[in-house]
Each structure stands twice: as C-alpha cells, then as structure tokens.
Amino acid sequence: MPDAPAPTHGLPPRRISEVAAELGLDLEQILPHGHHIAKIPIAELQKRASAPDGRLILVSAMTPTPQGEGKTTATIGLADALRCLGRKAMICLREPSLGPYFGIKGGGTGAGRAQVVPAEDINLHFVGDMYAVEKANNLLCAMADNHLQHGNEHGLDPRRIVLRRVIDLNERSLRDIIVGLGGPMHGVPRRDGFNITPASEVMAILCLARDYADLGDRMSRMIVGFTYKGEPVRADSLQAVGAMQVLLRDAVHPNLVQSLEGTPAFVHGGPFANIAQGTNTAIATRLALKLADIVVTEAGFATDLGAEKFFDIKCRSAGLNPSAAVIVATAKAIEYHGGFKTHGGSGNLAKHIENIRLFGVQPVVCISRFPDDSAANLRKIVKFCESLGTEAVVSEHYDKGGTGAVGLAQAVLRATARHRRREPRFLYPLDMPLDKKIEMVAKKLYGADGTDFDRRAREDLQLLEKQGLSRLPVCIAKTPLSLSDNPALRGRPSGFRITVNELRISAGAGFVVAICGNIVTMPGLPKVPAAARIKVLPSGHATGLT
C-alpha cells in the first residue's frame, strides 16, 4: 500500500496545480481559476476513454431531520479517510445554490474538519456555472416569447408554454407571474413563472450529458410548449440550441478543488434532489473514475429521493455501477423519527437499508457522532444494524477529519471487496407505463399502499403517452422529510398512498417529473433568512457566511 499524503489540517490549501498533479494532470491539462480552483477540460475524459474505472461509492442517508444529517460532511470525511489509508481517493459533489445559502440551509461544502475549500467561493459565485445554466434557460424563454411576438409561425399556444424562467434565489413572489404587459410593443401577455435554477431542465441536461454533442442533442429535444393542436414545440424549432451551447461551453468542464486535508474534489452541477435528480454531473463522475482508484459521491437527501434517482436515472444514463453505498444516520434522527420502534426511527433506518439493497448494493451505515450523543445510544444503533446484517460504524469526521472516519473507510472497503454485480439493478424497466413506474417507486421505496393521480396528472399522462414519451424514467418530486408525501408522517409510516398532482416533461434531460404533495419548484425565504446575518466588514472580509 502506498504511503498516504500528509494531512494538511490547519495549513493553507495547496495550490490547485499540486492537487491536479496528484491526479496525474500537469499545468497544460488544467484551466486555473485563481490559485485554488481549476476547470479540467472535458477532453481529458475523452483521452482516457479506454482506461479502467475506479470504484464508485454512493453516500445517501436515512430520512433527515429539518437540519439535515451531514451527508456532504460524511462524503468528504470518508474520502479523506480513504486517502489516509493510502488510497488514491477523490470526491464528487454538487455545486451549492444561493437560494438555500441565503435562506435557511446554509452552504453545501461540508462542516468542521470535513470541508471542501475555498468554501466561501464555492458557496457564492464559484466559477459561474449556475449563471451559465440560468442564462441558457432564460435565453430559450426569451426566444419563445420573441417567437410569439413575430408571427408565431409554429402555432405555439401561449397558454401551453411549459418552460419557465429561472433564478438562483429563493423568491416566492416569482412563482406565478404575468409577462408581456404594456401593449403590442412589449410582447404577448401570458401567464408565466420562475423556478429556482437547480430545478431548470438545462441543469438536469448539463448533469446528464456525456459530451458536447450529447449536450446539444438533449437541449434540442427540450419541449418549450405545445401548439394549438397539441403538438410539441422543441428548442431546435426556435433555433436556440447553438447559442445555449455557447453559454454552456465552459460550464461542461468539471471544477477541481480540494478538501481541508487536500483530497481532490470535483464540485460540478447542482440539481436539487426533492425536485430534480440530485446528483453532480455525469461528466465529473466519469472523469473522477478515470483519475482515481476510488470515488466518493453523494445523492441529495435520503435513499427514497437522491439514491433512487442516482440509480434509476444517472446510473442508467451514464453507465455507472457503484460498488457500495453509505447510509448516514444520527442518534438525533433516530429520536426525531420516533426512537427505537418498529415504525419509528429504527424502522426508518431499516427501510433505507432495504432500499439500497433493492439496487443490488450492500450498504454500510455511517453514524455521525455529535458531542452530546450517549455512547449507549450509539451502541444501540450499531447493534440494531448488525441485526439486519449491515455493518455500522460510529464516525467522528466532523471533529477529527479523515482520521475520525478511518473505521468507516475500512468498512466501506470491505463492502466493495464483496461487491460482485457487473451492472446495477434498476427498480423498473423502461417499457413499463409511466403510472406503473411511479407506483413501483412508491410501493417499493416509500412503502406506500399505492398511488392516486389527480385529474390534471391523468391528463398529463395521456398527453405524454400520445407524444411517445412513456418510456422515460420518472423523477419524483416530494418532501424529503418523510418516506411519504406528507412531511408530518415521520418514522416508517404505513397505510398511506402517494398523490401525484402533476407530471412535467423533461424530454431533453430524459425523464418525467412527477409532482407529489405540497412541492414547489421555487422556494421561499424563512421569516429570518440567513442573508440577514451576513455583513461585509471595513476590511472587506465577510461575516455570517457559515
């Protein structure tokens, strides 16, 4: 086993050229953005197409408390620990969104001794990928409205435009708006609205595209709306795709940063998991697998949301095959969901263990330790997992960094050594009808008795089937705070049904979004948003950002 690089606790971050060199990349193969950030050209993936892949580890979680269970922190701590053990490890994460950062959730770069840096830059404007997605999406919207203004030769029905504008902020007042007011010179009046940028189909496309050509092909298939006769009008009909590709030309390159301990990390792409597919770009993951022996990635929220979409959408599209999965659990979450009861917190954890096994992967449970956790409660969780045939490890990566997660890393390596599946197992076949796919996810992953479709959702189903789009996978948007679509149902609920309110087509991304429960794709700010605590001092330094 090779010697592990020395940890860099308390030291300034390494120059990004040094981080790249650890991956076998020299200065001619990176595009630096200052001293500590670089983009790695997509050409480096193409050059390594025939190289063997490393092993992929997915980090998911049990159903979280409203504060979250520290999946990103666990992902970083695990990769740091693998590097401590002498493994050539790498991290793959999503880019944080400004909406939650200025709202209630805070940043998305980890915490304590398990962070990626430079955290402030990553959490704020980073390298401009979010803006590129926003501009590409909104350019298409502008060209659709311009098409209406100048004769509407494709017969686009203003009442049936499904594409919405986006902005990377929480702004509830933009959910439902009217555009085109002010007379004939100011456009065609119609109802419109904004989504948050991570919910944009352009973001989903960026995160699933394989290369420049695939990016263009997917964007050309985007459905802007429907004609008066009910036929789809796509982005290529509006001649928008070339300009959109130009706006995303640099955004396709993965962004290289590092953890506090110097572990290389790609932070690239940022779809939410409750309303989108919830994983970083396929390009970043595929390139990381060529550059490192073991790659640790996360999927947003718990196994019922992020992990399911990771397998059924991302792995299916990108040809990925995880070797193991980590389920992050905490004593606080066990208690929040009802403690050690069959249908309480332990039941919730048990369901998530079952969920990961449905995909043919053996999970390891990471019990993230908090200072006020009792040793007795932690032992109880470990023994409970053992009774289910799952190894559980108490991890202290928040306080100790990689050294605090060595036991977790060793357990993960044991799980990868036992992995024998050559291909991932999916929850449903693509030729299954859309409503049956949704029902399959609801029954198998959530534990629901079945699904109910509102009148609008039934109409959407008929339209999608008519357009030949029923073979796409489904991306279910629901609350992350429950296995059900009701955030008040904690633990492991039973006897419930999932209600589908609406179906939205993401033809370019290649999936159908099922809106369930009280889900909005443009969040609002809390009464006292995190933005209220942020200030810039006379020195130019900011406070309240973490």
d(CA 75, CA 288): 15
Query: What number of other Cβ atoms are within 10 A of residue 112's Cβ?
Result: 17
Tens of pLDDT, residues 129-149: 999 999 999 999 999 999 999
Residues 55, 73 contacting (CB under 8 angstroms): no
Residue in this structure with the two tokens 């990103």, named with its chain if needed: 72
d(CA 129, CA 116): 18
Q: Would you say residue 528 has pLDDT above 80?
A: yes
Q: Would you say residue 477 has pLDDT above 60?
A: yes
Q: What CATH number is attached to the domain comprising 483? A: 3.10.410.10
d(CA 373, CA 262): 29
Q: Could you tell me if residue 302 is inside a domain?
A: yes
Asked if 355 and 331 sit in the same domain, the reply is yes
Q: In this structure, what are the phi and psi dihedrals at residue 212, rounded to the nearest 5 degrees?
A: -60, -45
Both tokens of 350, joined, read 């048990």
Q: What is the pLDDT of residue 423?
A: 83
Strand order in the sheet with 474-477: 450-453, 497-506, 511-516, 474-477
d(CA 336, CA 345): 7
Tens of pLDDT, residues 302-358: 999 999 999 999 999 999 999 999 999 999 999 999 999 888 999 999 999 999 999
Q: Could you tell me if residue 8 is inside a domain?
A: no
Which residue type, as a one-letter code, is found at position 526?
P
d(CA 74, CA 58): 11
Tens of pLDDT, residues 422-470: 788 999 999 999 999 999 999 999 999 999 999 999 999 999 999 899 9
Q: Would you say residue 123 has pLDDT above 60?
A: yes
CA triple 38-39-43, angle to 5 deg? 140
SS3 148: helix
d(CA 285, CA 266): 8
Q: Could you tell me if residue 522 is inside a domain?
A: no
Q: What CATH number is attached to the domain comprising 165? A: 3.30.1510.10
Residues 525, 170 contacting (CB under 8 angstroms): yes
d(CA 486, CA 480): 9
Tens of pLDDT, residues 5-49: 545 555 689 999 999 999 999 999 999 999 999 999 999 999 999
Q: Is the pTM of this model over 0.75?
A: yes
SS3 385: helix
SS3 content of the chain, % helix, strand, coil (to 5): 40, 20, 45
Both tokens of 245, joined, read 């590709």
Burial class of residue 237 in the structure, from the number of CB atoms within 10 Å of its CB (0-12 exposed, 13-18 middle, 19+ buried): middle
d(CA 414, CA 274): 31
Q: How many domains does the chain have?
A: 3
Q: Beta strands 114-117 and 255-259: pairing type? A: antiparallel
Asked if 221 and 206 sit in the same domain, the reply is yes
Last residue of a domain, one of 364, 389, 418: 418
Q: What is the pLDDT of residue 315?
A: 97
Average pLDDT over residues 464-480: 94
Asked if 304 and 242 sit in the same domain, the reply is no
Last residue of a domain, one of 217, 247, 277: 247
Which residue type, as a one-letter code, is found at position 374?
S
Q: What percent of the chain has pLDDT over 70?
A: 97
Q: Could you tell me if residue 338 is inside a domain?
A: yes
Last residue of a domain, one of 223, 247, 271: 247
Asked if 149 and 214 sit in the same domain, the reply is yes
Asked if 66 and 117 sit in the same domain, the reply is yes
Strands (E) located in 89-129: 89-93, 110-111, 114-117
Burial class of residue 434 in the structure, from the number of CB atoms within 10 Å of its CB (0-12 exposed, 13-18 middle, 19+ buried): buried
Asked if 102 and 208 sit in the same domain, the reply is no
Q: Could you tell me if residue 181 is inside a domain?
A: yes
Residue in this structure with the two tokens 């919405």, named with its chain if needed: 164
Asked if 292 and 414 sit in the same domain, the reply is yes
Residue in this structure with the two tokens 């006379």, named with its chain if needed: 538
Provide the angle, in degrees to the nearest 10, between the axes of the packed helices 345-358 and 375-387.
Answer: 40
Asked if 113 and 155 sit in the same domain, the reply is no
Peptide bond into 198 cis (omega under 30): no
Asked if 78 and 162 sit in the same domain, the reply is no
> What is residue 85's DSSP assignment?
T
d(CA 443, CA 355): 11
Tens of pLDDT, residues 288-303: 999 999 999 999 999 9
Helices H / strands E in the chain, number of each: 19, 25
Q: Report the mean per-residue pLDDT for the chain.
A: 94
* Residue 304 domain boundaries: 51-126+288-418
Asked if 109 and 206 sit in the same domain, the reply is no
Asked if 97 and 60 sit in the same domain, the reply is yes
Q: What CATH number is attached to the domain comprising 412? A: 3.40.50.300
Asked if 403 and 383 sit in the same domain, the reply is yes
